[in-house]
Amino acid sequence: MLAGKSFQDKHFGANSAPDHGSEKSMSKQAMVVLSTAPDEAVGSQIAAALVERRLAACVNIVGGVRSLYWWEGKVRDDAEVLLICKTDDSHVQGLTAAIEELHPYDCPEVVALPVTGGSAAYLSWIEESLR
């Protein structure tokens, strides 16, 4: 290991991420959930439902995404929008179920990634927004 500050400390500040293993900390693990939708209208409907149900604190809708993937034995090449959902670990299951309920695809993308650092104020805002 190299001497000096860790990547976490250097880029996010020492102890900026919540301590999820401590009994003292009641913070939940912030998560980013990625999904795609066929167009902006569908993406907006899903995003609005997720935020209104307090399953996501925020959903970014990113246009201009091109997805290449296998479906029904063929390689597909489709324009889509990307949904970037900010939530926490206690809401991922409900958020996943809501996307599956609302989505027109037979098998919508739902990929949850843990947030390992970032602005303490923003991470607190996510937690507060989901209450």
What is the per-residue pLDDT across 7-51, written as a single tens digit (0 to 9) for each?
344 434 444 444 444 333 456 899 999 999 999 999 999 999 999
Query: How remote is the C-alpha of 57 from its chain's centroid?
Result: 10
Other beta carbons less than 10 A from residue 63's beta carbon: 11
The CA distance from 45 to 86, in Å, is: 16
pTM of the model: 0.80
The CA distance from 103 to 111, in Å, is: 15
Residue 89 confidence (pLDDT): 96
Domains, the chain, ordered by start? 30-129 (3.30.70.120)
Nearest alpha-carbon partner for 116 in 5, 39, 8: 8
Residue 27 confidence (pLDDT): 66
